[in-house]
């Protein structure tokens, strides 16, 4: 275990792109999509031997606290914190940092999400360990960037410049700017340039450095963090948090801090990583049959190729179709083309607006 190392796992998402298996009551972080553990359990496992479980916090929705405790039983119950409202990642980062500050004002923090897949765990842990060493001694904010393997339009990018001196195995680079999800032509240029990396959404910083960044770039979040720190673990915590969150805007930590700061260092992630942001992305983690169909559950396919089928506890039959996503869950069935899988979230919003399908959402 690394001294003064803490982790904050953000687990408050809706997981709408994995509907109908993922719903607001059982979002993506609770699903056993890969292996025999829920996604949150996998995230906690990535930290084994690196961060003491007593120093791992999970920020989730208030209505999911009990389910989160059940999905991560190795963590102390008091380390599962429920947000009264969704206010995006900046608020979660500020709250997590405030709670660490209450326990360890000189602590260093890894911020990660509950629904990513990480391979090469030894390399991941080395990257984080060496990153901790750097942020502990410098007033910097660190992000972990992944070398792009294709011209993705679904990820944000980090433009990098010169190397930052380090004695370890990890490559650290000065981050020049964060770039939002690009169009296809721009993504191709980034891929060719060689100094652009996918933004993994994982961050490292010291308590001091992040609070200082909030003071400069988002004072309202700093005020919330400072007011919540002395209330950690008290009977007044939940009521005060609700009042504080009620006054906050929805904003990501990228917009609120990272895109504006001039002290950003990127650690190059040389480990396997996938944010598993859509049904087709999940298929990449399973071997297909002779016709490249990936089946989770039971399926009979005739003259069908390159489909993803999730059909647990029932039989799904395919005849003469290609490149489809077919998911059966409860009383809902999804059928869509793989190239339109990102529109599942849009479909969920449409269903929610009609107000007739709340039991399925």
One digit per residue, the tens of pLDDT, for the chain of length 361 reads 678 999 999 998 777 899 999 998 889 999 988 888 999 999 999 999 999 999 999 999 999 999 999 999 999 999 999 999 999 999 999 999 999 999 999 999 999 999 899 999 999 999 999 999 999 988 999 999 999 999 888 889 999 999 998 889 999 999 999 988 888 999 999 999 999 999 999 999 999 999 999 999 999 999 999 999 999 999 999 999 999 999 999 999 999 999 999 999 999 999 999 988 889 988 989 999 999 999 999 999 999 999 999 998 899 999 999 999 999 998 999 999 999 998 999 999 999 998 878 888 8
pLDDT number for residue 13: 77
At 109 the pLDDT is 98
Distance CA 31, CA 310 (A): 13
Q: Are residues 13 and 29 in contact, defined by beta-carbon separation less than 8 angstroms?
A: yes
Question: What is the set of domains in the chain, with CATH numbers?
Answer: 5-274 (3.90.550.10), 279-360 (no CATH)
Q: How far apart are CA 134 and CA 140, in angstroms?
A: 8
Long-range pairs, 243-251, Cβ under 8 A, ≥24: 245/83, 245/84, 245/85, 245/87, 245/91, 246/84, 246/85, 247/220, 248/87, 248/91, 248/220, 248/221, 248/224, 249/87, 249/220, 250/86, 250/87, 250/88, 251/87, 251/88, 251/90, 251/91, 251/218
In DSSP terms, 59 is beta-bridged to 10, 81
Give CA–CA dist 82/11, Å, rounded. 10
pLDDT of 292: 96
pLDDT computed for residue 173 by the predictor: 97
Name the phi and psi angles at 214, rounded to 5. Answer: -65, -40
DSSP 233-299: TSTTHHHHHHHHHHTPPP--HIIIIITT-S-EEEEEE-S-EE---SHHHHHTTS---TT--EEEEEE
pLDDT at 2: 79
Q: What is the pLDDT of residue 242?
A: 96
| Residue corresponding to tokens 């360890």 | 104
pLDDT at 84: 95
């Amino acid at each position: 275990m690394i001294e003064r190392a803490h982790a904050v796992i953000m687990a408050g998402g809706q997981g709408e792109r994995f509907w109908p298996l993922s719903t607001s009551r059982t979002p993506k972080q609770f699903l056993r999509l890969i292996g025999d553990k829920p996604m949150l359990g996998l995230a906690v496992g990535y930290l084994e031997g690196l961060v003491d479980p007593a120093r791992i916090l999970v920020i989730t929705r208030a209505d999911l606290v009990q389910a989160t405790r059940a999905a991560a039983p190795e963590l102390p119950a008091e380390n599962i914190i429920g947000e009264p409202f969704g206010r995006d990642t900046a608020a979660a980062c500020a709250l997590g940092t405030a709670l660490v500050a209450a326990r360890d004002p000189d602590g260093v923090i890894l911020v990660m999400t509950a629904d990513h897949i990480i391979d090469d765990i030894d390399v991941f842990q080395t990257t984080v360990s060496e990153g901790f060493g750097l942020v502990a001694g410098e007033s910097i904010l660190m992000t972990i960037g992944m070398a792009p393997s294709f011209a993705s339009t679904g990820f944000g990018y980090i433009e990098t410049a010169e190397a930052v001196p380090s004695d370890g195995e990890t490559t650290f680079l000065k981050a020049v700017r964060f770039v939002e999800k690009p169009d296809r032509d721009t993504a191709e240029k980034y891929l060719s340039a060689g100094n652009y990396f996918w933004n993994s959404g994982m961050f490292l910083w010291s308590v001091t450095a992040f609070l200082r960044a909030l003071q400069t770039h988002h004072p309202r979040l700093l005020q919330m963090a400072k007011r919540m720190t002395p209330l950690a673990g008290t009977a007044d915590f939940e009521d005060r948090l609700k009042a504080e969150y009620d006054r906050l805007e929805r904003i990501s930590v990228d917009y609120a801090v990272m895109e504006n700061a001039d002290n950003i260092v990127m650690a190059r992630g040389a480990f396997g990583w996938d944010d598993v942001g859509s049904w087709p992305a999940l298929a990449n983690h399973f071997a297909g049959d002779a016709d490249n169909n990936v089946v989770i559950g039971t399926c009979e396919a005739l003259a069908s190729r390159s489909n993803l089928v999730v059909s647990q506890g029932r039989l799904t039959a395919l005849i003469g179709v290609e490149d489809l996503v077919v998911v059966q869950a409860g009383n809902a069935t999804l059928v869509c083309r793989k190239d339109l899988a990102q529109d599942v979230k849009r479909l969920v919003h449409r269903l929610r607006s009609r107000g007739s399908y709340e039991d399925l959402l």
